[in-house]
Structure 1
Amino acid sequence: MNLSKKTFLYSAIITTIIVALMIGYFVLMLPSLYVAYMEDINHNSIKQVQERFLKDGSYKEISSRNPTATFTLKIPNAENKLLLFNGFGNIDITIDDPILKEAINKIRYYADNYEEIENIDTSEEEYFKNVFNYIKELVKIEDLPISIKASSNDNYLNFEELSYDVDVVNDNTIIFQQDVTDKINYYTNYVAFSNYKGDIVVTLLPVMTPQLNEIRPIILQSLPMITATAILIILIATIFFSRKIINPIEKLANHATFIKENSKLEIAPIEIEGKDEIAKLGETLNELYEELNKNFKELEEKNKFLKEQNIRQEVFLRASSHQLKTPIAASLLLLESMINEVGKYKNTKEYLPKVKEQLLSIKDIVDSILNLNEGTNGVNIDRVSVDEVIKSALEYHDINIKEKEISIDINLKDVTIDTDRNLIYKVVDNLISNAVNYTKCGEDIKIILNKDSLSIINYGGRISNDLLPHIFEPFVSSSSENRGHGLGLYIVAFYCKLLGLKIEINNIRNAVEAKLYLN
């Protein structure tokens, strides 16, 4: 199963779970949350009505959950009045009856001393019942031109109290909440009582209590549309975002496959939009491919260098083997002639030194080969004073220079470079040795050192124009009379390549110049 199908399957499972949770929430939790919310609204409504009335003393700026049935009764502190307020108007009732005045005074007393209400005796309860009956008698109107007879339905007035709660808002205000039912409907009566600046303020707010069975059918009717819409939106969003995720991953996979099939690793970096984890992965892969490409090129360069080294060593060994045949054959011939006492070779004292010369020639060739192989063991970079190296090499060749009565003209500046001390010495030593060997007796050698280059000029010498392009090849010599075996400049070129230096050999006026560039 590919990533797209997996993503779609996981999205379908998640969608099913989410829709199931939504249905459970709408059916089981939302109705009860709605009922609790409406109870809070109604409770805050009676609280706001009471607070607003205490502040303004009227209903001009007051709105409530049930404006037609909400009213406030105010009993002034020092007046025998009852003030009734509603959103439709006000009623001012003046009390002249002494019994009612006394009842109002008792209400004021208990309002100021509400803690005594819990300990009220039966006589006080009886008193207020009598006052209530007295008021009922007062409101009977006689001598009307019509006759009215009223009766009540006992079943309809059969209310059952469900709960009762008291909320102390502050030191002056208390809210009473009573939940009742008539077996059909549910009601909540809120009564706010305040003793504000000596005035007694009572506000009544009756409301219908919302029920769960009233809300749940509406939700159930809406569930099919809600479910279908939710599934559609979730699936569309999932498909969209899954493609946003999968497309960059497919792009990375195709890019990796393309690089796998491309042996040169010369690939343009992949571009992934955004700054998320996939974009970071793309950046990391680009860095990886760049590093691989760099390493690949380095390996190619090393392989090329090793291949060149192998060719050089093969040529060098073959040439060395060929060159060694001459002194070995000469030595054997001399020795065999002396052993057999053939002609002039009976004089061993004269010809043994010649054998020695041939053996020394063989030794020089072998030493050169060994020195060349040592150069492949590695380069140790250090701070090297080039002028000191030149002085040391000149001291080493001092005997040969004096024997040939060569004049040395030195012009050296203090020059220090980062290089391998042993290898740079061998380069300088071979250049000086080559200059001494190919300078005739009594001629001059000039050595010039500055910060950019070292020049060694041997006067009186010249290299054939045909030989000059091959001067750095092994066993190339410009003079058959000289003892050199043509390895000196080859070794110089070899070490210069290891050190990253440039060497040039050129004919100048009546001289040959070897120039070593130091940077």
Structure 2
Amino acid sequence: MKLGRKNLLYSMALAGMMLLLLVGYFIYMLPSLYVDYVMEQNLKSVREQHIAYRDKGSYDGVKVRNSTACFSVEIPLEGNRILVTGKSFSAELIIRDLRLSGILDRCREKLTEKPNPEEDADYELRTDLDELGEILQETVGENPGFPVEIHLLYKRDMGKEFRNESIKVHSYSDHLLIIESSVEDSANRYANYIVMEQTDSRLILSVLPVVAPEAAEIRPVVLQSLPMLGAVILLLVLLSSQMYSRGIVGPIAALAEHAGQMKAGEAVPVRRFSGRRTEKRDEVQALADTLDDFYFQIRESYLALEEKNGELEEENKRQEVFLRASSHQLKTPIAAALLLVDGMTNKVGKYRDVGTYLPKVKEQLLSMRKMVEEILYLNRCAEHMRLQETDAGQVLTECLQSCQVALTDRCIAVEFQEKERLCIDTDEVMAAQIFDNLLSNAVKYTPCGGRITISVGEEAQGGSVRIENFGVTIPEALLPRIFEPFVSGDHGRSQGTGSHGLGLYIASYYAKKLNINLSIYNGENSVVAEVTFDRTGVCGQMEKSSMSSSSEIHTAMIE
């Protein structure tokens, strides 16, 4: 089943569930909520009605819920006057009958007492109200001038007609109470609100009778509106489902096509999906961005892995060539040592002189040991590379100190020029090996009484270290292979330097590992070794307290 059809079925099921929930809400909850709301508004209205009358003394400008039946009674704490005020009238009653005055005093006394919500106030005043009725009936009957003669034909007890009586007392302060009484008959439900408040000089009662709504009155209206409500909900759900399907299925299909292009496009990178939907920023776009990021991350990892595999393949070839060359180079000292040992063992010819030729055996063994140590150190040092800020001039100075004996023996003058302290971001041990091999070669191949110049400083392309030894050059045929292992010139062998051709190879290998540019070329009757660094900085700028001026040229002459 396609996504659009699934979405339609889900939407219809959702519409049915929504309709059921709405029907249940409208039938069972909404009527009760409406009744509670109306009763709460009635309570609020009678309180506002009472407060407005208390402050103004009239109903002018006061909004009431039942303007024909609401009224307020103001009873002074002393005297025989009663003020009755409604929305459309205001009257003052003066009581002249002593019996009525007594009833008024008793009612005033009971009303001014602090009421107890658990007691029924209606029955406390019933005796006084019955007596009031008898007095009024007697007064009307004894008055011959009354224009109307009243004969009571029958008297019916209406208590059986009403049911579900309830009384609630709402206390807002010590002097303001609202009594909410409700009762219902077979047709309606009635509610009466009586507000009682006592001030310093008067007792105010406000009355609001209302017909309370019932939940059963609202349900038929809700049921009549259900067909239209269901049709509208269904139509809206179908339209929104159609629009949603177009908005979600189309981008998902495009995203699936985009993923297929990613799968097929191995050689050529696929452009980002966000370029097709520049104006959209929704979940589909977020998914597309995540997929694009994942694709480009995998592609970068794949390219990096290919590059790493290429480096490993090159390293394997280098190691294979290196091992073959090492094996070939080790054959010569091994054969020479064996020849010397056999001659001394068999006492053949001049080899009988053990004291003379035994040191030569040791010399051959030391040469082999040095070669093996350099081979082992070469790989171990490259595997534990640690980049840090290194002072190139200081490293060169330490390397010069290790060559001091050879320089003194050969009477070689060294000129060291440091224009400014040069800091390089590199591995200090590997950089020291590079400088040491270059200086060692310069010392070995410089004629006795020759000269070596060393310059350190910043150039246009970066930091630079230049080592130039005079009085010797490299044969042009040897320059292309100068960094290959076990390659050495005839001049060095003729001078008896004992070189086995690993120095420049090690320097070149470390330079590649550190991304350092190393070049060796012939000058005017000299050999120049130049090392260029990309990540450099002037140490004087980083450690201002370590030198007073970074622009001075430091020159040292060692003879």
| TM-score, length basis structure 1 | 0.72
Per-residue displacement from partner, 1:74-122 (whole Å, max 9, x unpaired)? 5566665555433333445555xx5x35403431342134459899799
Q: Distance in 2 between matches of 1:450 and 1:433?
A: 18
Contact 2:473–2:525 (Cα < 8 Å) also in 1: yes
Larger-Rg structure:
1
Q: Where does residue 42 of structure 1 map in the other structure?
A: 42
Distance 1:88-1:180 versus aligned 2 partners, 3 A rule: same
Contact 1:265–1:293 (Cα < 8 Å) also in 2: no
Which segment drifts farther, 69-78 or 466-475? 69-78
Q: Where does residue 66 of structure 1 map in the other structure?
A: 66
Contact 1:454–1:515 (Cα < 8 Å) also in 2: yes
1:23-102 to structure 2, matched below 5 A, reads 23-74=23-74, 83-92=83-92, 98=96, 100-102=97-99
RMSD: 5.4
Q: 1:184 deviation in Å?
A: 3.2
Q: Where does residue 227 of structure 1 map in the other structure?
A: 230
Q: Where does residue 20 of structure 1 map in the other structure?
A: 20
Structure 2, unpaired ranges of 5+? 116-120, 458-462, 537-559
Which segment drifts farther, 505-514 or 291-300? 291-300
Q: Distance in 2 between matches of 1:340 and 1:127?
A: 160
1:390-401 to structure 2, matched below 5 A, reads 390-395=400-405, 397=406
Residue 516 of structure 2: which of 493, 501, 510 is its match? 501
Q: Distance in 2 between matches of 1:428 and 1:472?
A: 15
Q: Distance in 2 between matches of 1:237 and 1:59?
A: 53
Per-residue displacement from partner, 1:410-451 (whole Å, max 9, x unpaired)? 2236878676566555544543454455445x4514242535
1:401-412 to structure 2, matched below 5 A, reads 402=409, 406-412=410-416
Q: Distance in 2 between matches of 1:286 and 1:231?
A: 39
Q: Distance in 2 between matches of 1:204 and 1:466?
A: 124
Contact 2:75–2:83 (Cα < 8 Å) also in 1: yes
Q: 1:349 deviation in Å?
A: 7.3
Q: Does 1:167 align with 2:169?
A: yes
Distance 1:104-1:370 versus aligned 2 partners, 3 A rule: same
Q: 1:512 deviation in Å?
A: 2.4
Q: 1:27 deviation in Å?
A: 0.7
Partner AA of 1:49 in structure 2: Q
Q: 1:359 deviation in Å?
A: 11
Q: 1:408 deviation in Å?
A: 0.5
Contact 1:49–1:64 (Cα < 8 Å) also in 2: yes
Residue 478 of structure 2: which of 467, 479, 483 is its match? 467
Q: Distance in 1 between matches of 2:343 and 2:333?
A: 15
Q: Distance in 2 between matches of 1:281 and 1:357?
A: 75
Distance 1:47-1:499 versus aligned 2 partners, 3 A rule: closer
Q: Distance in 2 between matches of 1:457 and 1:111?
A: 125
Q: Does 1:205 align with 2:208?
A: yes
Per-residue displacement from partner, 1:177-222 (whole Å, max 9, x unpaired)? 5444553333334444555555565544333232222211011112
Q: Where does residue 387 of structure 1 map in the other structure?
A: 397
Per-residue displacement from partner, 1:2-54 (whole Å, max 9, x unpaired)? 77776666665555444323222211122222223223333333333333223
Q: Does 1:183 align with 2:186?
A: yes
Contact 2:343–2:351 (Cα < 8 Å) also in 1: no
Q: Distance in 2 between matches of 1:291 and 1:18?
A: 45
Q: Does 1:512 align with 2:522?
A: no
Q: Does 1:106 align with 2:113?
A: no
Q: Distance in 1 between matches of 2:464 and 2:130?
A: 130
Contact 1:166–1:177 (Cα < 8 Å) also in 2: yes
Per-residue displacement from partner, 1:290-349 (whole Å, max 9, x unpaired)? 6655544543443332222233333344555666778889999999999999xxx97767
Which segment drifts farther, 43-52 or 73-82? 73-82
Q: 1:131 deviation in Å?
A: 0.6
Partner AA of 2:524 in structure 1: R
Q: Distance in 1 between matches of 2:337 and 2:99?
A: 158
- Fraction of identical pairs, as percent: 31
3-state DSSP of counterpart to 2:403: helix
Q: Does 1:133 align with 2:148?
A: no
Distance 1:140-1:364 versus aligned 2 partners, 3 A rule: farther
Contact 2:71–2:85 (Cα < 8 Å) also in 1: yes
Q: 1:133 deviation in Å?
A: 0.9
3-state DSSP of counterpart to 2:51: helix
Distance 1:93-1:337 versus aligned 2 partners, 3 A rule: closer
3-state DSSP of counterpart to 2:65: coil
Which segment drifts farther, 24-33 or 461-470? 461-470
Q: 1:280 deviation in Å?
A: 7.6
Q: Where does residue 438 of structure 2 map in the other structure?
A: 431
Structure 1, unpaired ranges of 5+? none
Residue 374 of structure 1: which of 373, 377, 380 is its match? 377
Partner AA of 2:482 in structure 1: I
Distance 1:325-1:58 versus aligned 2 partners, 3 A rule: closer
Contact 1:161–1:179 (Cα < 8 Å) also in 2: no
Contact 1:375–1:423 (Cα < 8 Å) also in 2: no
3-state DSSP of counterpart to 1:65: coil
3-state DSSP of counterpart to 2:209: strand
Q: Distance in 1 between matches of 2:198 and 2:225?
A: 48
Distance 1:175-1:354 versus aligned 2 partners, 3 A rule: closer
Which segment drifts farther, 135-144 or 101-110? 135-144
Per-residue displacement from partner, 1:144-170 (whole Å, max 9, x unpaired)? 9xx999978979998435414263655
Q: 1:473 deviation in Å?
A: 2.9
3-state DSSP of counterpart to 1:58: coil
Distance 1:268-1:104 versus aligned 2 partners, 3 A rule: farther
Q: Does 1:312 align with 2:318?
A: yes
Count of matched residue pairs: 503
3-state DSSP of counterpart to 1:220: helix
Partner AA of 1:131 in structure 2: I
Distance 1:362-1:30 versus aligned 2 partners, 3 A rule: same
Distance 1:77-1:506 versus aligned 2 partners, 3 A rule: closer
Per-residue displacement from partner, 1:351-396 (whole Å, max 9, x unpaired)? x99999899779857854662353122245476732122221343x
